[in-house]
């Protein structure tokens, strides 16, 4: 049978084995969620902003083809070279071709989840190219040979001690040193050399503006700017859903993005790129990689509004206690669990189930994506497609039989309660009942409500 | 008004006292209630597991049972939300739509329809922690949500404040999920247990003697953790507290 293994549950269980670390992870992300709350509460117009952002995105998606063509035309007029990639392979090949053309061997890259999604780093490294992620968190996990665990705070799963040990190994810092100031300084010196020697810079794109043909990159470290300004060639890679109609819309998104992501009023650097500097070359790669398929689906179209703030991860009680890596995909957490099955339904069939559908993600989303409702819809699609665990399928068919037949339900209820009363240890045996590994079953009552009700009626009427 | 009492399957089987309290509470407020005997389950377990199509039998049974009722009231935000959003029938689409629009969670019915603002007999002199269930809060809008910039309110809290002697304890995370999540509690056992434990600890830290709420499923999850810890703290459905002095 073509079914997915419940990887998330297994990964989460492994993460939870170190409970102290889980608590620390949970509290760290909750701290960010609390900062986001304070930032949101400080703007009386917050909900209005969310509504505006949602509508601008919905409109942009409804005319995505028009706005993309407009973006391409205007970008070309500005002297930007525009490329189209249908999928991850095409995207990677376009980047490689540009590198070959310029005989470039060293790249600095500022954080881009799209290049993570396309697995650009391993592809380029295989071609003998040095790729250096320049965002501090990204560089840390790159040195550890790990994917990011969060889209905004990629190394949030690591404590400063881990980073001290890592930098001692790779950057020659003192053994045991874990002072953030000292470690950041070491990273800065290390990265500065890489910036100076790079042939080419890659950045992501937060917003591309159809009206102007320009684009905006938001970072807190200025690494995108430094990379793009020092290198001869700048390649900006974006998913096609990042286009917005007009420059005047930027204010809405820039106000929401940083507040939702980290609780800041605005990101430290919101850099606007419009045309290449004299003597430089600027490329814009527009990538589909499943996005038009998502766009064609009314149930999941809304997920393309995502501006990658990570607020849904910070608030998610599941993400906070299972860590980003448990999601085994580039974009973790609630939004990632909607996006990933669109790329590979079987591989990521477990992710829409890695949620209690509590709905907090939907509430924090600055562009009002109905995240938990889309997770529910994905479950139906996956159930139909037959890619959920066999145990679940069998159990649900059994429930259908049971609950469609009141007499059978009554009988099974009575039998079940009798069984639990007669063999209480059986019901609480962890090997038979996963519930009982960490929790006790309720005490079964003598009588169901229905039996009590029937008895009362008999008393009254009899 | 012909009010049908909807008692979710797990309440029927494991927590009959919650059903009894709900019935008595409604009757004490002069509501004439009938309990259709052939009702079973709302169908949510199947739907949330990706098998909404397998809940057609449940839907049909539900519609048959409650066809004579003007409104349906049930002591579970989660089951009521499922009915409100997903009760469906290809044979009786109009009847399904009518019921979807007329099914109420207990607290919602008390505050919005009956407009209860006094419970003269209710007395419960204990420190009580209110577990705000996600489906009731975010799905049915029973209380304000910590994520939104909006005025604060809570229908269950409004009712609990009418109870003499009851001391409602504050919580650090007033609306964090308990981790039950239907079949999530089994398929993501480790995570679900940890979420339950954290939820319980918030109540314990603030000195709750009793944890209450509008959903027995969440409370069953919390009770499971408390019993394993051999804690003396109990869980009680809000209906049991609201009828406590009767």
Residue A413 has its nearest CB partner, among B13, B135, B179, at B13
Kindly report, residue by residue over A168-181, the tens digit of the pLDDT. 999 999 999 999 99
- Chain B nearest-CA residue for A417: B13
| pLDDT score, position A307 | 98
d(CA A214, CA A69): 13
| pLDDT score, position A1 | 35
How many A-B residue pairs are in contact by the CB < 8 A criterion? 227
**CATH number of the CATH domain containing A141:** 3.40.50.10420
Which of A332, A367, A390 is the C-terminal boundary of a domain?
Answer: A390
Which of these ranges, A426-430, B167-171, B194-198, has the smallest mean pLDDT? A426-430
If one counts the domains in chain A, the total is 3
Distance from CA of A162 to the nearest CA of B (A): 25
Subunit contact B37:A454, Cβ cutoff 8 A: yes
Looking at the structure, do residues A272 and A339 belong to the same domain, yes or no?
no
| pLDDT score, position A5 | 64
Locate tokens 């993460």: which residue? A15
Residue B245 scores a pLDDT above 90? no
| pLDDT score, position A422 | 80
Region A126-153: mean pLDDT is: 95
Distance from CA of B17 to the nearest CA of A (A): 7
Half-sphere exposure of A377 (CA within 13 A, CB side): 16
How large a percentage of chain A has pLDDT more than 90?
A: 85
- Chain A nearest-CA residue for B216: A442
Looking at the structure, do residues A433 and A380 belong to the same domain, yes or no?
no
Which of A343, A363, A390 is the C-terminal boundary of a domain?
Answer: A390
Looking at the structure, do residues A126 and A207 belong to the same domain, yes or no?
yes
Looking at the structure, do residues A418 and A286 belong to the same domain, yes or no?
no
Kindly report, residue by residue over A352-375, the tens digit of the pLDDT. 999 999 999 999 999 999 999 999
How large a percentage of chain B has pLDDT more than 90?
A: 97
Residue A20 scores a pLDDT above 90? yes
For the question of an ipTM over 0.90, the answer is: yes
Over chain B, what is the mean pLDDT? 96
Domain assignment of residue A440, given as a range: 405-461
Subunit contact A449:B11, Cβ cutoff 8 A: yes
Looking at the structure, do residues A123 and A267 belong to the same domain, yes or no?
yes
Residues of A in contact with B12 (CB under 8 A): 413, 448-450
Domains in chain B with CATH codes? 2-113 (3.40.50), 127-242 (3.40.50)
B118 contacts chain A (CB < 8 A): no
Which of A362, A390, A418 is the C-terminal boundary of a domain?
Answer: A390
Residue A226 scores a pLDDT above 70? yes
User: Does residue A454 fall inside a structural domain?
Assistant: yes
Kindly report, residue by residue over B34-87, the tens digit of the pLDDT. 999 999 999 999 999 999 989 999 999 999 999 999 999 999 999 999 999 999
Region B4-31: mean pLDDT is: 97
Residue A2 scores a pLDDT above 70? no
Looking at the structure, do residues A105 and A233 belong to the same domain, yes or no?
yes
- Chain A nearest-CA residue for B221: A439
Looking at the structure, do residues A413 and A281 belong to the same domain, yes or no?
no
Kindly report, residue by residue over A143-162, the tens digit of the pLDDT. 999 999 999 999 999 999 99
Q: A424: pLDDT confidence band, cut at 50, 70 and 90?
A: confident
Least Cα distance to A67 among A197, A236, A300, A249 occurs for: A249
Kind and range of the H or E run holding B168: strand B167-168
User: Which of the residues A317, A322, A408 would you substitute to probe the B interface, choosing the one with the greatest number of B C-beta atoms within 10 Å?
Assistant: A317
Region A258-268: mean pLDDT is: 96
User: Does residue A64 fall inside a structural domain?
Assistant: yes
Q: Which of residues 394-453 of A touch B (CB under 8 A)?
A: 395-397, 399-400, 402-406, 409, 413, 416-417, 434-435, 437-442, 444-445, 447-453
Subunit contact B51:A321, Cβ cutoff 8 A: no
Tell me the β-bridge partners of A440: none
Report the SS3 class of residue B130: strand
How large a percentage of chain A has pLDDT more than 70?
A: 99
Locate tokens 């059978």: which residue? A408
Q: A275: pLDDT confidence band, cut at 50, 70 and 90?
A: very high
| pLDDT score, position A462 | 62
Kind and range of the H or E run holding B103: strand B103-105
Kind and range of the H or E run holding B221: helix B216-228
Looking at the structure, do residues A150 and A244 belong to the same domain, yes or no?
yes
Residue A340 scores a pLDDT above 60? yes
Looking at the structure, do residues A351 and A450 belong to the same domain, yes or no?
no
| pLDDT score, position B94 | 96
User: Does residue A34 fall inside a structural domain?
Assistant: no
Q: Which of residues 280-339 of A touch B (CB under 8 A)?
A: 315, 317-318, 321-322
Residues of A in contact with B11 (CB under 8 A): 449
User: Does residue A194 fall inside a structural domain?
Assistant: no
Region B113-137: mean pLDDT is: 97
Distance from CA of B140 to the nearest CA of A (A): 11
Kindly report, residue by residue over B57-72, the tens digit of the pLDDT. 999 999 999 999 999 9
Retrieve residue A115's tokens: 């290049």
User: Which of the residues B149, B172, B228 would you substitute to probe the A interface, choosing the one with the greatest number of A C-beta atoms within 10 Å?
Assistant: B149
How many angstroms separate the first and last alpha carbons of chain B? 24
Region B148-159: mean pLDDT is: 98
Q: Which of residues 55-94 of B touch A (CB under 8 A)?
A: 55, 57-58, 60-61
User: Does residue A226 fall inside a structural domain?
Assistant: yes
Residue A400 scores a pLDDT above 90? no
- ∠A91-A97-A103 over CA atoms, to 5°? 140
A44 contacts chain B (CB < 8 A): yes
Looking at the structure, do residues A350 and A423 belong to the same domain, yes or no?
no
| pLDDT score, position B116 | 98
Can you give chain A as a three-state secondary structure string?
CCCCCCHHHHHHHHHHCCHHHHHHHHHHHHHHHHHHHHHHHCCCCHHHHHHHHHHHHHHHHHCHHHHHHHHHHHHHHCCCEEEEECCHHHHHHHHHHHHHHCCCCEEEECCCHHHHHCCHHHHHHHCCCEEEECCHHHHHHHHCCCCCCCCCCCCCCCCHHHHHHHHHHHHCCCCCCCCHHHHHHHHHHHHHHHHHHCCEEEECCCEEECCCCEEEEEECCCHHHHHHHHCCEEEEEEEHHHEECCHHHHHHHHHHHHHHHCCCCCCCEEEEECCCCCCCEEEEEEECCCHHHHHCCCCCHHHHHCCCCCHHHHHCHHHHHHCHHHHCCCCCHHHHHHHHHHHCCCCCCCHHHCCCCCCHHHHHCCCCCCHHHHHHHHHHHHHHHCCCCHHHHHHHHHHHHHHCCHHHHHHHHHHHHHHHHHCHHHHCCCCCCHHHHCCCCCCCCCCCHHHHHHHHHHHHHC
Looking at the structure, do residues A355 and A264 belong to the same domain, yes or no?
no
B181 contacts chain A (CB < 8 A): yes
Over chain A, what is the mean pLDDT? 94
Residue A16 scores a pLDDT above 80? yes
| pLDDT score, position A393 | 83
Region A84-100: mean pLDDT is: 98
φ, ψ for residue A255, nearest 5 deg: -70, -35
Looking at the structure, do residues A252 and A327 belong to the same domain, yes or no?
no
| Cβ proximity of B114 and B29 under 8 Å | yes
d(CA A360, CA A313): 10
β-strand pairing of B210-213 with A281-287:
unpaired
d(CA A41, CA A188): 35
């Amino acid at each position: 049978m073509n079914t997915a293994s419940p990887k998330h549950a297994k990964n989460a269980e492994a993460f939870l084995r170190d409970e102290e670390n889980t608590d620390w992870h949970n509290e760290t992300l909750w701290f960010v969620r609390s900062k986001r709350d304070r930032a949101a509460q400080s703007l009386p117009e917050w909900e209005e902003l969310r509504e505006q952002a949602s509508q601008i995105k919905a409109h942009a998606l409804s005319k995505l083809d028009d706005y993309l063509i407009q973006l391409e035309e205007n970008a070309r007029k500005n002297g930007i070279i525009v490329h189209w990639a249908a999928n991850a392979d095409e995207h990677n090949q376009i980047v490689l071709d540009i590198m070959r053309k310029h005989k470039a061997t060293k790249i600095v890259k500022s954080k881009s989840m799209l290049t993570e999604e396309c697995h650009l780093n391993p592809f380029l490294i295989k071609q003998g190219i040095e790729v250096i992620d320049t965002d501090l968190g990204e560089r840390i996990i790159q040195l550890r040979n790990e994917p990011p665990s969060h889209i905004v705070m990629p190394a949030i799963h690591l404590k400063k001690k881990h980073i001290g040990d890592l930098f001692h190994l790779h950057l020659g810092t003192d053994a045991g040193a874990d002072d953030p100031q000292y470690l950041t300084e070491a990273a800065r010196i290390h990265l500065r050399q890489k910036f100076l020697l790079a042939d080419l810079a890659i950045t992501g794109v937060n917003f591309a503006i159809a009206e102007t043909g320009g684009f905006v990159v938001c970072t807190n470290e200025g690494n995108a700017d430094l990379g793009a300004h020092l290198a001869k060639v700048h390649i900006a890679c974006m998913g096609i859903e990042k286009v917005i109609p007009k420059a005047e819309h930027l204010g809405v998104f820039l106000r929401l993005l940083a507040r939702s992501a980290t609780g800041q009023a605005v990101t430290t650097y919101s850099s606007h790129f419009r045309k290449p500097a004299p003597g430089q070359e600027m490329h814009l790669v527009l990538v589909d990689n499943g996005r038009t398929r998502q766009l064609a689906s009314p149930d999941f179209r809304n997920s393309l509004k995502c501006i990658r703030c990570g607020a849904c991860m910070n608030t998610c009680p599941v993400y906070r206690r299972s860590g980003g890596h448990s999601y085994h995909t580039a974009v973790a957490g609630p939004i990632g669990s909607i996006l990933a099955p669109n790329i590979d339904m079987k591989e990521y069939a477990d992710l829409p189930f890695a949620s209690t559908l509590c709905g907090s993600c939907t509430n924090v989303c600055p562009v009002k994506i109905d995240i938990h409702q889309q997770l529910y819809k994905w479950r139906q699609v996956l159930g139909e497609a037959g890619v959920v665990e066999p145990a679940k399928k069998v159990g649900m068919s059994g429930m259908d039989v049971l609950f469609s037949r009141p007499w059978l339900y009554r009988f099974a209820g009575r039998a079940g309660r009798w069984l639990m009363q007669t063999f209480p240890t059986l019901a609480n045996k962890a090997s038979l009942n996963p519930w009982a590994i960490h929790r006790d079953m309720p005490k079964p009552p003598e009588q169901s409500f229905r039996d009590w009700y029937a008895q009362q009626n008999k008393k009254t009427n009899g | 008004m012909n009010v049908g009492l909807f008692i979710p399957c797990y309440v029927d089987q494991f927590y009959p006292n919650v059903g009894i309290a709900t019935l008595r509470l409604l009757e004490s407020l002069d509501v004439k209630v009938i309990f259709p005997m052939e009702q079973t389950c709302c169908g949510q377990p199947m739907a949330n597991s990706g098998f909404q199509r397998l809940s057609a039998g449940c839907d049909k049974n539900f519609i048959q049972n409650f066809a004579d009722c003007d409104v349906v009231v049930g002591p579970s935000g989660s089951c009521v939300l499922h009915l409100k959003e997903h009760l469906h029938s290809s044979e009786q689409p109009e009847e399904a739509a009518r019921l979807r629009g007329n099914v109420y969670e207990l607290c919602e019915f008390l505050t919005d329809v009956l407009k209860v603002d006094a419970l003269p007999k209710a007395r419960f002199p204990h420190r009580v922690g209110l577990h705000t269930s996600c489906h009731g809060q975010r799905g049915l809008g029973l209380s304000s949500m910590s994520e939104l910039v909006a005025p604060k309110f809570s229908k269950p809290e409004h009712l609990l404040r009418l109870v003499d002697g009851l001391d409602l304890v504050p919580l650090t995370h007033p609306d964090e999920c308990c981790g039950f999540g239907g079949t999530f509690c089994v398929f993501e056992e480790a995570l679900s247990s940890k979420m339950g434990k954290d939820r319980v600890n918030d109540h314990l830290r603030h000195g709750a003697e009793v944890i209450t709420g509008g959903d027995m499923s969440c409370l069953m999850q919390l009770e499971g953790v408390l019993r394993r810890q051999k804690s003396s703290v109990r869980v009680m459905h809000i209906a049991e507290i609201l009828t406590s002095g009767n």
